[in-house]
């Protein structure tokens, strides 16, 4: 009968993808064999038996990052306040009040504040993430920590190596997570190991936003777990592979990648690069525009979770002050505590003297103008609208002058973070609009990014033109 046919067809339609996807996908097939294709962030979920949940869990399939809106309530007990978005033009409160803004920074259990790791060698920064993870393990509040570690080092050697997830059960293993390089890494690849080990009942998962979104979606299926803590990092513009990150150092910064122990895009508008015996800074403006395309993964161009909305506590640096001539491994970072579990993790690290807390974060300066200026001169945006992308950057002296001027007159502290969030939201919205079209783009983004896009459409005709291009 017709109804039988409909039933058979709809059954087949639903069951085929599930069967086909229940087998873990071989990482060698990345990205083409992964469901999110070129936008796959290699989070690791599809390399496990949990691949059967991919349709609902992947940050880049279906409603994608728009799921954050609903998931916040499940994870933190409430959604973020969307009515407190700070615009410097309209700012009537004191600058420190900005540390309580939820619309951009996500659910806050307390104002964003500064922090440093205490006496942690060989970290990328001062070791805030490693300090919290170590404190949780050493105080016996968790049985294991999932973190990304360099595979072929175990005692402070920060040379380039492929970054792989590990289930760390000892302090020595957690320490292998220091100073990993900014390239996509499959944090969730160890999910089956967790599921099959009954000795792990209390877990700390460390990860970036896209991996945490997938983790939160399957967390309740990890049936052995009684307690789960999630420690996140702010994250933007990761390289697709370790090789691409090395190429950025070689072709972009013009240094020998084999000597580099860490690098970061900093608030003084310069890339900071650490080697064993030097600390080099290069103004952003001296980098060739063409290096952006190979250095930034496609997933990160479709990402709207810079602030890691679903972690219990988040470590970042864009909202922290940077003193003149300061190094990344001597500077404060920011702590965003989203709920009681996050507060407990921070307190544990403070009690164990591994973490030093600073002041509540503050910010000043207008961030909107710079966000618009960055978008209109951005290499990725230029290639979307078929403009020429510069093959060489500014001369060194001119780049230094620009960086100096921006530092004097541009946004600082939390307002630098606002600039960076807004810029990435706008650039990435243009990317998904260009790649997926209006309907999918608009159903893919979380609510807070809608407010940002709408605001800039209203205040800036150039951005409005780019959107309609
Ligand atoms: Fe699978 Fe993660 Fe890639 Fe999505 S991002 S396709 S869940 S590996
Ligand atoms: Fe994932 Fe977004 Fe970070 Fe890219 S920028 S690794 S997509 S959280």
Sequential DSSP letters for 420-462: HHHHHHHHHHHHHHHHH-HHHHHHHS-HHHHHHHHHHHHH-HH
Q: Nearest CA to 162 among 185, 146, 179, 142? A: 185
User: In angstroms, what CA-CA distances link 446 with 52, 181, 234, 377?
Assistant: 24, 28, 17, 26
Out of 58, 64, 190, 240, mutate this one to test ligand 1's pocket (max ligand atoms within 8 Å of CB): namely 58
pLDDT at 182: 80
Cα 27 from Cα 48, distance rounded (Å): 10
Give phi and psi for 173, each to the nearest 5: -70, -40
pLDDT at 430: 96
Atom 1, ligand 2: residue with shortest CA distance: 210
Whether 450 is covered by a domain: the verdict is no
Cα 425 from Cα 431, distance rounded (Å): 10
Q: How far is the CA of 73 from the centre of ligand 1 (A)?
A: 23
Cβ atoms of 326 and 226 within 8 Å: the answer is no
Whether 88 is covered by a domain: the verdict is yes
* pLDDT digit string (tens) for the chain, length 469 residues: 333 333 333 333 333 344 345 799 999 999 999 999 999 999 999 999 999 999 999 999 999 999 999 999 999 999 999 999 999 866 544 444 588 999 999 999 999 999 999 988 888 889 999 999 999 999 999 999 999 987 655 444 555 666 789 999 999 999 988 877 788 999 999 999 999 999 999 999 999 999 999 999 999 999 999 999 999 999 999 999 989 999 999 999 999 988 888 888 999 999 999 988 899 999 989 999 899 999 999 999 999 999 999 999 999 999 999 887 789 988 999 999 999 999 999 999 999 999 999 999 999 999 999 999 999 888 888 888 878 888 888 899 999 998 999 888 999 999 999 999 999 999 999 999 999 999 999 999 999 999 999 999 999 888 888 888 7
Whether 383 is covered by a domain: the verdict is no
**Shortest-distance ligand to the CA of residue 54:** 1
Whether 394 is covered by a domain: the verdict is no
Cα 32 from Cα 25, distance rounded (Å): 11
Cα 253 from Cα 286, distance rounded (Å): 8
pLDDT at 5: 33
Whether 11 is covered by a domain: the verdict is no
What are the beta bridge partners of residue 227?
Answer: 202
Count of Cβ atoms closer than 10 Å to residue 223 Cβ: 6
Atom 1, ligand 1: residue with shortest CA distance: 46
Cβ atoms of 157 and 178 within 8 Å: the answer is no
Whether 180 is covered by a domain: the verdict is yes
pLDDT at 55: 96
Structural domain count, the chain: 1
**Shortest-distance ligand to the CA of residue 39:** 1
pLDDT at 98: 82
Say what the ipTM of the complex is. Answer: 0.99
Whether 230 is covered by a domain: the verdict is yes
pLDDT at 7: 33
- The range of the structural domain enclosing residue 118 comes to 75-239+300-363
Whether 253 is covered by a domain: the verdict is no
Structure tokens at 156: 């402070």
Out of 305, 421, 424, mutate this one to test ligand 2's pocket (max ligand atoms within 8 Å of CB): namely 305
């Amino acid at each position: 009968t017709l109804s039988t046919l409909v039933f058979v067809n709809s059954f087949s339609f639903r069951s085929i993808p599930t069967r086909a996807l229940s087998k873990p996908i071989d990482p060698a097939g990345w990205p083409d064999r992964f469901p999110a294709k070129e936008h796959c962030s290699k989070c690791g979920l599809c390399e496990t038996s949990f691949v059967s949940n991919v349709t609902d869990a992947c940050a880049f399939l279906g409603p994608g990052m728009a799921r954050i809106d609903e998931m916040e309530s499940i994870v933190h007990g409430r959604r973020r306040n969307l009515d407190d978005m700070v615009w410097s033009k309209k700012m009537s409160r004191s600058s420190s009040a900005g540390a309580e803004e939820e619309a951009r920074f996500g659910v806050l259990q307390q104002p964003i504040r500064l922090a440093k790791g205490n006496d942690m060698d060989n970290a990328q920064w001062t070791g805030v993430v490693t300090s919290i993870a170590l404190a949780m393990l050493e105080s016996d509040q968790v049985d294991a920590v999932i973190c990304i570690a360099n595979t072929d080092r175990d005692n402070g050697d920060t040379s380039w190596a492929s970054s792989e997830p590990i289930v760390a059960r000892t302090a020595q293993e957690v320490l292998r997570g220091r100073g990993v390089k900014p390239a996509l890494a499959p944090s969730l690849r160890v999910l089956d190991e967790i599921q099959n080990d009954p000795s792990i009942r209390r877990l700390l998962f460390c990860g970036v936003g896209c991996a945490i979104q997938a983790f939160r979606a399957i967390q309740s299926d990890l049936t052995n777990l009684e307690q789960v803590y999630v420690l996140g990092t702010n994250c933007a513009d990761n390289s697709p592979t370790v090789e691409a990150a090395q190429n950025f150092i070689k072709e972009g910064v013009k240094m020998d990648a084999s000597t580099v122990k860490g690098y970061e895009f900093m608030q003084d508008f310069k890339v900071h690069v650490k080697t064993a015996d030097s600390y080099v800074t290069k103004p952003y403006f001296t980098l060739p525009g063409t290096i952006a395309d190979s250095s930034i993964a496609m997933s990160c161009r479709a990402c709207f979770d810079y602030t890691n909305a679903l972690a219990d506590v988040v470590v970042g640096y864009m909202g922290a002050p940077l003193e003149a001539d300061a190094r990344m491994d001597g500077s404060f970072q920011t702590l965003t505590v989203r709920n009681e579990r996050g507060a407990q993790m921070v307190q544990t690290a403070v009690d164990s003297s591994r973490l030093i807390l600073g002041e509540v974060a503050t910010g000043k300066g207008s961030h909107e103008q710079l966000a618009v200026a960055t978008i209109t001169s951005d290499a990725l945006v230029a290639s979307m609208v078929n403009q020429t992308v510069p093959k060489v950057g500014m001369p060194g002296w001119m780049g230094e002058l620009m960086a100096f001027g921006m530092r004097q007159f541009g946004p600082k502290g939390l307002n630098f973070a606002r600039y960076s969030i807004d810029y990435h939201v706008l650039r990435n919205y243009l990317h998904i609009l260009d790649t997926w079209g209006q309907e999918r783009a608009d159903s893919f983004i979380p609510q807070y990014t809608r407010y940002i896009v709408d605001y800039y459409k209203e205040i800036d005709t150039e951005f409005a033109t780019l959107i309609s291009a």
